[in-house]
């Protein structure tokens, strides 16, 4: 069996109160980064390096210490919301369980809290939503429940893995607005994983662009969308409907045997001689981090 190097040589900082958007195409390793932050990968996954949260290295914490961090300090919003909710419990019970276990709240207190949370997540009749089962809700409704779950304990960091997947445009905007509002109130930071450029442009402070398991550019959101540095980013922006729909030539490489040298070089219009045999290291260039020989 082959080994997939899903994420390779990735390094980034996440400031407190900041919104960092990780963008990249499907299968480039975005979700793997999210799962490895909270050590949620299956047992056969190998993790090396360090993930510093304050002065703690999350990779070296015990399962018990991690349990205290998960949900209360760092929480995650998953894709596939319907699968992420337990089918045999009512929505309200699943959320209030959090307060009862972590905050030792009485069932009455937690119910009041949950209904207010649900109404903030756009449920017009939270009392009614409280008594529903996940199977009685649409995907979009469950997604909002999941966001409510992740925000319930006011974590310092919210990791959102495609939180607006499956929602229509209007709801998407509302949810993102609500997410940002709660984030602002509680002074948490948001790590948004998305392939939605609009969402990233609208709410992110900084953007990290990923290609084939590596981060190729990190820049302030404004600067990135005005003038991206990496050739992959040029290609991506050109492929947006707004800029003429012209796709990047070639296909995404296999993660089992990625191309030698720069991973983007087979599809890159600006490739140099070195690109095919040497791996570019990330370098700092006018406030950005960029992994490309053009800026050496």
Partner 1 sequence: MRKPALPRQNGSAQKKSLTSLLAVVLFLVFFILALCANIIAPHDPWERFDPYLPPSAEHWLGTNDLGHDILSELIYGSRVSLLVGLGAAVLATAIGLSVGLFSGYYKGVTDEILMGITDVFLMIPRIPLIILLAAFLKPSFWIIALVIGFLWWTSTARVVRSKSLQVSEMNFVLSSKCLGFSDMHIIFTDIFPNIIQIVIPKFMLTVAAAMITEASLSFLGLGDPSMKSWGMMINFAFTKGGLVNALWWWFIPPGLCITFFVYSVVLLGYSHEEKEQAALGIG
Residues that bind partner 1 in the complex, under the rule CB under 8 A: 38, 40, 43, 63-64, 67-72, 75-76, 78, 80, 83-89, 97-98, 101-102, 128, 132, 136, 146, 149-150, 153
The set of residues, in sequence order, having a beta carbon less than 8 Å from that of 35 and lying 6+ positions away, is 41
Q: Token pair for residue 263?
A: 């991973």
Count of alpha carbons within 13 Å of 90, Cβ hemisphere only?
A: 13
State the DSSP string of 79-100. Answer: SSTTTTS-TTS-HHHHHHHHHH
- Helix orientation angle between 139-151 and 91-102, rounded to the nearest 10 degrees: 10
User: CB-wise, 149 or 218, nearer to partner 1?
Assistant: 149
User: CB-wise, 40 or 294, nearer to partner 1?
Assistant: 40
User: CB-wise, 165 or 285, nearer to partner 1?
Assistant: 165
Q: Token pair for residue 242?
A: 């707004």
User: CB-wise, 84 or 294, nearer to partner 1?
Assistant: 84
In the complex, least distance from residue 200 CB atom to partner 1, rounded to whole angstroms:
23
User: CB-wise, 70 or 263, nearer to partner 1?
Assistant: 70
CA distances to 60, 69, 74, 159, 160 from 156, rounded to whole Å, are 20, 10, 6, 10, 13
Contact between 99 and 116 (Cβ < 8 Å) = no
In the complex, least distance from residue 149 CB atom to partner 1, rounded to whole angstroms:
6
In the complex, least distance from residue 59 CB atom to partner 1, rounded to whole angstroms:
16
């Amino acid at each position: 069996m082959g080994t997939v190097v899903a994420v390779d040589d990735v390094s980034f900082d996440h400031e407190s109160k900041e919104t960092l958007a990780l963008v990249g195409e499907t299968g480039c390793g975005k979700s793997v980064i999210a799962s490895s932050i909270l050590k949620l990968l299956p047992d056969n996954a190998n993790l090396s390096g360090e993930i510093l949260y304050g002065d703690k290295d999350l990779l070296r914490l015990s399962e018990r210490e991690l349990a205290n961090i998960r949900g209360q300090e760092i929480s995650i919003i998953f894709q596939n919301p319907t699968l992420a909710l337990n089918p045999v419990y009512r929505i309200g019970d699943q959320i209030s369980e959090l307060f009862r276990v972590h905050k030792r709240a009485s069932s009455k207190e937690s119910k009041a809290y949950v209904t207010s949370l649900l109404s903030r997540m756009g449920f017009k009749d939270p009392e009614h939503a409280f008594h529903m089962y996940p199977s009685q809700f649409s995907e979009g409704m469950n997604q909002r429940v999941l966001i409510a779950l992740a925000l319930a304990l006011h974590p310092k960091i919210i990791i959102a893995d495609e939180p607006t997947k499956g929602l229509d445009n209007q709801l998407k905007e509302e949810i993102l607005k609500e997410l940002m509002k709660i984030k602002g109130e509680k002074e948490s930071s948001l790590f948004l994983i998305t392939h939605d450029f609009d969402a990233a442009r609208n709410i992110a402070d900084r953007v990290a662009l990923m290609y084939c398991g590596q981060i190729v550019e990190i820049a302030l959101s404004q600067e990135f969308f005005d003038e991206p540095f990496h050739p992959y980013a040029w290609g991506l922006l050109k492929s947006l409907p707004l800029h003429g729909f012209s796709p990047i030539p070639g296909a995404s490489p296999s993660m089992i045997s990625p191309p030698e040298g720069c991973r983007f070089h087979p599809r890159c219009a600006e490739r140099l001689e070195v690109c095919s045999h040497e791996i570019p290291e990330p370098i700092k260039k006018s406030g950005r981090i960029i992994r490309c020989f053009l800026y050496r």
